[in-house]
Chains A and B, each alone.
Chain A
């Protein structure tokens, strides 16, 4: 079959606080195939967000190799990394991270602005994405005028609008009540059904059940058999 879309080889990320070195990720190997729905599960502080930042090209490994969609990321400069984020990655955050004082429509259209898509077209595509997520009647609402679940759906629309190769979601249900959380997870399953590659990061085993495959992480290391050591 085709080559994997994401591939980490012996990736480490060591934070240098000036006083101490914090090894947040150590010798991590990970492969994600095209169209896969993968959950990365681990307790707080285990290095999940660090891993997502590296997978999303927001951060670089201290050592090791990361190949995204056939491109070795360590060879790219900052502008090229920004281009990769723009075209290949869709981020979904725990705290939604919508642009403040900006309408849902403008929020969803902004990633396209950084791709140089003409305004008319990007508004059209943003409207379509929001409508798809059931927010067709909330286009002009600013984040403060939306519920948590709605804000997260705007966030998902923003991640989807560029048709990225991978969706990276970091605790997307973490700030939601169980009902809204279940809706988001159901949304992910639907997106997966249409062929999207999704990496879902969570500390919640129940949420992780939605994925095809689970990888467990603890103290910056992947559990040997993909399961938490008993």
Chain B
């Protein structure tokens, strides 16, 4: 029998007993659909994380006090008090550095007219918008003079401004932070979500003002550093390390009391974790493909039994064992591949819906489709070959006498 004849037979067989065919394919449909959807969701999530991280600011190095890779007796990252405002200004004098933004943050009650909210108040420097990729919506950011003279000037994140009922015309008016009056000098453009903490819900004041009024010490939790170019990241990292080692009196081989994290490092860590998760999830989903394959094998074994007489007839009119084997194998393949194709469609639709709900870009990976089709082919062969060879081996006389 030619390949075409076998295909025609298998297709016409699919048409008879549609319910059974559908139920048999369901296992493969679910398996393939979940693999496709999970891979797509995993990719969407990874890309979402990446784009948010990129939104943090370009060529960003983050310095925290404390050392992250040491033993469990150490305090959490950022809990040490060794990094100071002076360290930050020393760093800004290094070459390859475009801007340095220390952060002295505390939670404060902020009042504007009749509105109030408790939010993060961050003492920082004019480099903050550069380092963290903010742009201004109204007014201007804090200037150097406000830092030099510890002025009571405040810049509001967009969400904070909205929460407090402030508008474009509010520039120049007064808000009260922990009861102390500050002049609103600017309101920033919203930046959009970045994880669980909104980057737009914050109030920025001069770092010196924060130190004097709210924190009472000049040890900072975070220093953000913007490096001039991507290529200079490693050099800048080394220069900062050398400078801080020297300033903190850490000799060669000593344990540093600070940690420098690069954004690219963070990015690759996060995306490798989420890739791992994707692979893991797809692996779990592919188990249902195997279950689907067993379903096909089951139904094919039943089919061989039911069609014993047909097999006998076919042998009597000239079919070789191979013809019978291929006929049943093609039926199994038809089931698994048809199930695979429906599964791909369902999986793509599902990942589209999930992407819309989760709010990330819908990703469609043709590679997944190819892999799914190949995988369902393999499932069809693996689970179809045994029933088919049972059919091929039937003794024609026994098969013809079978009722």
A interface list, Cβ under 8 A from B: 53, 56, 58-59, 78-79, 82-83, 85-87, 91, 93, 97-101, 110-111, 113-116, 119, 158, 162
Contacts and interface: CB of A to CB of B under 8 A. Distances in A.
- Name the 5 nearest CB pairs between A and B, nearest first: A86-B318, A114-B318, A82-B320, A111-B317, A58-B396
A165 B49 CA distance: 76
Contacts of B16: 101
Interface in B281-323: 309-310, 312-323
A85 B321 contact: no
A79 B312 CA distance: 15
Given A83-B318, A87-B318, A113-B2, 15 more contacts: A58-B396, A79-B320, A82-B321, A83-B320, A85-B317, A91-B317, A97-B313, A97-B400, A110-B317, A111-B318, A114-B314, A114-B320, A115-B318, A116-B1, A162-B318
B5 A99 contact: no
A114 B321 CA distance: 11
A114 B319 contact: yes
Contacts of A87: 318
Contacts, number: 63
A162 B5 CA distance: 18
Contacts of B2: 113, 116
A58 B316 contact: yes
Contacts of A101: 16
A59 B2 CA distance: 27
Contact of B310 (A59, A100, A116): A100
Interface residues of B, number: 22
B397 interface: yes
Contact of A78 (B4, B317, B321, B400): B321
B400 A58 contact: yes
Contact of B315 (A58, A93, A115, A162): A58
A114 B323 contact: yes
A58 B51 CA distance: 70
Grouping DSSP codes into helix (H, G, I), strand (E, B) and loop, the B interface class, with mixed when no group exceeds half, is: helix
A160 B269 CA distance: 74
A82 B5 contact: no
A194 B366 CA distance: 63
9 contacts: A58-B315, A59-B397, A78-B320, A85-B317, A86-B317, A93-B400, A101-B16, A114-B320, A158-B317
Contacts of A119: 4-5
Contacts of A115: 318
B310 A99 contact: yes
A218 B344 CA distance: 64
A114 B1 contact: yes
A65 B321 CA distance: 24
A185 to B, nearest CB: 22
A91 B316 contact: yes
A97 B309 contact: yes
A114 to B, nearest CB: 4
A99 B317 CA distance: 11
A172 B178 CA distance: 106
A99 B16 CA distance: 14
A116 B16 CA distance: 26
B38 to A, nearest CB: 39
A59 B320 CA distance: 14
A208 to B, nearest CB: 23
A44 B50 CA distance: 83
